[in-house]
Amino acid sequence: MKSLITISAFVALAWGCLTACGGDDEPSSKTNDSANLSVSEMTFTADGGSQTATVTTNHEWSAYASQSWVTVSPTSSVNQNATLTVTAAANTTYETRTATVTLMAGTARATITVNQAAAEKPATTDTIQAPLEGYTLVWNDEFNEGSTPGADWTYEVQGAGWVNNELQAYTKTNDVATVSNGTLKITCKKVNDKIYSARLYAKKTTGWKYGYIEASIKLPTGKGTWPAFWMMPVNFSSWPADGEIDIMEEVGYNPNVVVSTIHCNKYNNTGTSVESASKSVSTAQTQFHKYAVEWTASYMTFYVDGTSILTYRNDGTGKDAWPFDANFYVILNLAWGGDWGGAQGVDESCLPATMEVDYVRVFQKE
């Protein structure tokens, strides 16, 4: 009987201990980790790029992306307040895509949804709309095939100083003209202490007489660059008597200012508003813009993104003022330095520099 009383007392003591240990004073096993991101969604164009978010945590953290086309930097840090850079690669598919970036800080999680637009489908002859009523497409290059310019293009091959005191040599080698992902890239580069670039002619032996000639171009950056989209006569004998049509030019020391100009005996770099006009395009070096001329027997009107910036008229006085009644061919080139491009010096640190062309199109009236 005594031993039973002793055992009962022990059980009561143990139960009292358990009850006391499980009361309100029991330490919590839960954590207070936090993970916060300043944005919950990012949207990218098909070209890709980078965006940033601010990380705020009370713990060391790491981050990762659910898809390989998205990368994050840094992938981990002990800094509780930091900047996370999210980079999306170019989307070359014709479908939109989505990924998730996850931030982990201890047991806490935060996410960013990453959306990216689809690549633009290549244009076909059937889908290309004429910019003006009465015109139809007669020739185009969308640069959707091959790795170099096609058979309609001819390369100029000349040494440095050949024209305008330009510093580059024009060549067909050194990958100065390549085609990829739906665009033509004309690249000016330094190779073994020499500067090389490309100057390309479309349908040089035939050209076109009159029409609406348009190209979509993203310009290069850097002091010394001199990109151009222009036209010269097929049957050339002397300049400026036979004429020159400069649809678009820009020089790197005056970035994002595009210029349209005509040259003939009567007007040749005289600086008048009759022969030349300029327009500031703030994203000319970061985005594609449309440069065009409508050329008829009586006038030429130059356009930037569909907006007229210059109209030059045939005054009826003859060839000195209007040599533009012959066939002309299209030229794309990227010069380095020279009388205009190098007027304020050059900066070789910007090389290689690339002029990117989405398409060239020629429309004529039926």
pLDDT tens sequence across 130-182: 999 999 999 999 999 999 999 999 999 999 999 999 999 999 999 999 999 99
Which amino acid would we find at residue 290?
K
* Cβ pair 337, 197 in contact under 8 A: no
The mean pLDDT value for 276-293 works out to 97
pTM over 0.75: no
Dihedral angle of Cα 89, 183, 223, 336, to the nearest 10 degrees: 140
Please indicate whether residue 95 is annotated as part of the active site: no
What does each C-alpha distance from 270 to 112, 132, 254 come to in angstroms? Answer: 57, 31, 20
Q: What is the dihedral of CA 117, 120, 121, 127, to 10 degrees?
A: 130
The 3-state DSSP class for residue 362 equals strand
Give the per-residue pLDDT at 7.
Answer: 34
SS3 168: coil
pLDDT above 80: residue 16: no
H-type alpha helices, the chain: 2-21, 338-341
pLDDT at residue number 123: 77
14 band by pLDDT with thresholds 50, 70 and 90 = very low
Predicted confidence at residue 24, as pLDDT, reads: 47
CA–CA distance, 314 with 322 (Å, rounded to integer): 6
Q: How far is CA 209 from CA 132, 329, 330, in A?
A: 17, 9, 11
Residue 8, φ and ψ in degrees, nearest 5: -65, -40
The answer to whether residue 28 scores a pLDDT higher than 60 is: no
DSSP H or E segment with residue 278: strand 276-280
Q: What mean pLDDT is predicted for residues 48-60?
A: 95
Q: Report pLDDT digits (tens) over 208-224.
A: 999 999 999 999 999 99
Give me the residues paired with residue 184 across strands: 179, 357
Q: What is the pLDDT of residue 122?
A: 73
8: tokens are: 């009962």
Question: By C-alpha distance, which of 362, 291, 295, 303 is closest to 322?
Answer: 295
- Residue 3's identity, in one-letter code, is S
- What Rg do the C-alpha atoms of the chain give, in angstroms? 32
Question: φ and ψ at 112, to 5 degrees?
Answer: -125, 130
What's the pLDDT band for 4 if we cut at 50, 70, 90?
very low
Which pair of structure tokens corresponds to residue 12? 């009561």
From CA 366, how far away is CA 361, in angstroms rounded?
A: 16
pLDDT of residue 124: 78
| CB-CB neighbours of 128 under 10 Å | 15
Q: Is 343 helix (H, G, I), strand (E, B) or coil?
A: coil
Cα 181 vs. chain centroid, distance in angstroms?
Answer: 12
What DSSP string describes 116-147? EPPPPPPP-TTTPPPSSTTEEEEEEE---SSS
* Identified catalytic residue from 142, 166, 214, 244: 244
In tens, the pLDDT along 77-136 reads: 999 999 999 999 999 887 899 999 999 999 999 999 999 998 887 777 788 999 999 999
The β-bridge partners of 213 are 293, 362
Residue 22 pairs with which residues in a beta bridge? none
- The stretch 175-195 carries a mean pLDDT of 97
Amino acid 180: pLDDT: 94
| C-alpha pair distances (Å), 354 with each of 119, 189, 319, 322 | 21, 9, 37, 34
Does residue 366 carry a catalytic annotation? Answer: no
Residues in Cβ contact with 282 at an 8 Å cutoff, skipping those fewer than 6 apart: 256
Please report which confidence band the pLDDT of residue 17 belongs to, taking 50, 70 and 90 as the band edges: very low
Contacts of 302 (CB under 8 A, 6+ apart): 247, 260, 277, 291, 292, 293, 308, 309, 310, 311
What average pLDDT does the segment 28-56 reach?
A: 89
What number of other Cβ atoms are within 10 A of residue 307's Cβ? Answer: 9
Q: Identify the band that residue 50 occupies on the pLDDT scale cut at 50, 70 and 90.
A: very high
Residue 228 has pLDDT above 90, yes or no: yes
Residue among 142, 166, 214, 249 flagged as catalytic: 249
Domains parsed from the chain with CATH numbers: 35-116 (2.60.40.10), 135-365 (2.60.120.200)
Average of per-residue pLDDT across 174-200? 97
